[in-house]
Amino acid sequence: MRFIDAEDGSPVISGLTRVIEEDCCTLRWIWPGGIEAVYIGKKAAEQAGDGVLDTRQLKLYTKAEYKANNGYHSRIEGVGLFVFTVYACQEGSAGSQLILQPNQENRIEISAGRAKIYYSISSKGGLFRKFKTIQIQVTTEVPVAKDVLCYVKKQGSYPANKDDGMLYPFVAPFAAGKNVLPAIEIGKQDFIRLFFTDGRTYGQMYELISV
């Protein structure tokens, strides 16, 4: 089994839709002519664009099963945003061929709920010191990549958003559970808050909570 790029006239998946009821998601699509089976993949949204395709993680689903079940049903488990991809499967002289669609009409996103990220910032400083020591603690329900979060430093007051001060990236990912970061020194009148690096994208996957 191998992947091939769609060409003019290739049988491709279209009209992919989703219906979510409680903890179950139903996918439906328009079957192209001559296709009797598809392979369905599911990935976390942050991994969906990494270009890594493993056929062992795909599920075979036939047109007969689709008709019998009125679609493809999948339980919604875990948290975060997931991407389902439906690959049309055609038989060639070299075996099964899964069709890659550059138009991405065979991909759809499903939200399984937002994972919570809790963070706290504690500070220590002497009366006559010019600097204070900051300790950031991040506790997450799931592993979080280092580029999901950033911290912003502002003089005189807490920053209102990631553009309201000096932005600093994190240098390591966050493991699920408690993460105590190395202490840093900042000016006595400086204040820090954590933000998503991309609120539109990561705000669908995580909930950032100050405690």
* pLDDT (mean) for 45-67: 80
CATH of domain 115-210: 2.60.40
| Model confidence at 45: pLDDT above 90 | no
- For position 159, what pLDDT does the model report? 97
Per-residue pLDDT band for 76 (boundaries 50, 70, 90) equals confident
Q: Which helix (H) or strand (E) holds 197?
A: none
- Each domain of the chain, given as residue ranges in start order, spans 2-111, 115-210
Give the number of residues written for the chain: 211
User: 27-38 burial, b for 16+ CB within 10 Å, e for fewer?
Assistant: bebebeeebebb
Cα distance between residue 14 and residue 106, in whole Å: 6
- Is it true that 2-111 and 115-210 share their CATH fold? yes
pTM attached to this predicted model: 0.65
Domain 2-111, what fold?
A: Immunoglobulin-like (2.60.40)
Cβ contact 155:189 at 8 Å? yes
Cβ contact 4:44 at 8 Å? no
Cα distance between residue 200 and residue 197, in whole Å: 9
Cβ contact 79:142 at 8 Å? yes
Phi-psi region of 32 (alpha: psi -120 to 50; beta: other; left: phi over 0): beta
